[in-house]
Amino acid sequence: MASSLLSFRGEGLMEKGKLLIVEDDRDLAEMLKLNFSSQGFDVEIAHNGREGIELTRKKNPNLIILDINLPDIDGYEVCKQLRGNLRTSHIPIIFLTVRDERSDKLAGLELGADDYITKPFDLDELRLKVRNALQRAVRENLSHPVTGLPSSKLVEEQLRNLITRKGWAFLFFGIQNFREFAEVYGFVAGDDVLRFVGGMLGEIVDKDGTPNDFLGHVGDDDFVLITDKANAKTIIEEAQARFNEHVHSFYSFIDRERGYILLGEKKVPFMNLVCGVVTSDDGPFADIREITEMAAEARRKAMAEEEK
C-alpha cells in the first residue's frame, strides 16, 4: 500500500510540481507560467538571477527553468551558486537560452544543468524535458515528490560525511498524529502539512542556521536537518513554536472548536512537531545506521513524553 501511494504521488508530481522560471523577458515568462499553470504546476517567476536564487531558497521548487542572459548575474552564475549550496544542489535545472553555440551548451552542462534548450524552442519538447527531469529526480531518490527537498540518497550521502566531522547535530523531526490526520482529512491535506513543514524548516535554517546546513525529507513525515550543534536548540524551539502557532489552520472549524479529531470512536489530539537529536558528542559512530537509530529512539522518547 505504501509503495503504491508513493508511486501515485510521484506521478501526481508531474501535474502539481513547483516550477521556478528565471527569465528577464516578461512576456515569455508569463507565457510559460500560463502554460505550465494550465498543466497543474505551481509556477513562480524571477526576472533576474539574484531573485532566482532567493526564490529557490524560499520556495524550494521541484525544477528551475533558467535563462542565461539575465540583467544582473548570468544563468551560469545562478547555476553555480545553486549547485554549490547543500540546500539547493539537488534541484533539476534546465537552461532555456538564445545562446546556441556548442561551447555555451557544454559550459552549462559542466556546471551541472540537467538539460539545455535553445530559443526559439518547441513548447512540447520543453514540457517533455521538464517531465523527464522531475521523474528522474524522484526515481533516483534525489528529491521528495511532495516537498521537493533532498530525499533518501542525498540524505545518506550527508550522513556518511558526518562520521569524521565534529560539532554537528542531527535533528530528526516528525509530526505526531500526522497519519491519523491524513486518514481523516485525506492525503492532499496531508501533503499541505508536509509542504508547510518543509518550507518552515527552510526559513528557520536561513535565519538561525548556516549556509552549510542540510535539510532533507526522507519520507512520510520524517524530516532531517544537519546543523551546527550550537544552533540545534534554537532551531528546534523555533520550529515547534511556529508549528504550534499554525497547526490549527489545517483543521476544520468544528475540530478546532472541540480541540481534537475523531477517528472512528477514537479522539485524536492535534498534530505536534517532535524532534530527536543526536550530536557528534554522542559518538564515535562506525556506521550511519547508528546515528539514525539513535535519532529515531530519541524521537520516540520525545513522542512518549508528549503523550503523557
- Category of 148 on φ-ψ map: left (φ > 0), alpha (ψ -120 to 50) or beta: left
Distance CA 250, CA 289 (A): 34
Contact 60, 34 (CB under 8 A): no
Q: Which pLDDT score, from 0 to 100, does residue 177 have?
A: 96
Q: Do domains 2-139 and 152-307 have the same CATH topology?
A: no
Q: Which class for 21: exposed (0-12), middle (13-18), buried (19 or more C-beta within 10 A)?
A: buried
Distance CA 155, CA 308 (A): 32
Between the alpha carbon of residue 168 and those of residues 98, 165, 211, the distances in Å are 44, 7, 14
Instruction: pLDDT tens for the chain, 308 residues: list them.
Output: 233 233 334 444 434 688 999 999 999 999 999 999 999 899 999 999 999 999 998 888 999 999 999 999 999 999 999 988 877 888 999 999 888 888 888 888 888 889 999 888 899 999 999 999 988 887 777 888 888 898 888 899 899 888 888 999 999 999 999 999 999 999 999 999 999 999 999 999 988 888 789 999 998 899 999 999 999 999 999 999 999 999 999 999 999 999 999 998 899 999 999 999 999 999 899 899 999 999 999 999 999 888 76
Please state the CATH superfamily assignment of the domain spanning residues 2-139 in this structure: Response regulator (3.40.50.2300)
Looking at 1.25.60.10, 3.40.50.300, 3.30.70.270, 3.40.1210.10, the CATH number of the domain 152-307 comes to: 3.30.70.270
Element (H, E) at 206: helix 187-208
Listed by start position, the domains of the chain span: 2-139, 152-307
Beta-carbon count within 10 A of 247 CB: 19
Amino acid at 255: D
Q: Tell the burial category of 122 from Cβ atoms under 10 Å away from its Cβ (0-12, 13-18, 19+).
A: exposed
- Alpha-carbon distance of 206 to 22, in angstroms, equals 21
How far are the Cα atoms of 72, 94, 97, 104 from residue 101, in angstroms, in the given order? 22, 16, 11, 5
Tell me if residue 175 falls in helix, strand or coil. Answer: strand
- Beta partners for residue 184, in sequence order: none
Q: Return d(Cα 38, Cα 55) in angstroms, integer.
A: 21
pLDDT of residue 12: 41
How many other C-beta atoms can be found within 10 angstroms of the C-beta atom of residue 267?
A: 11
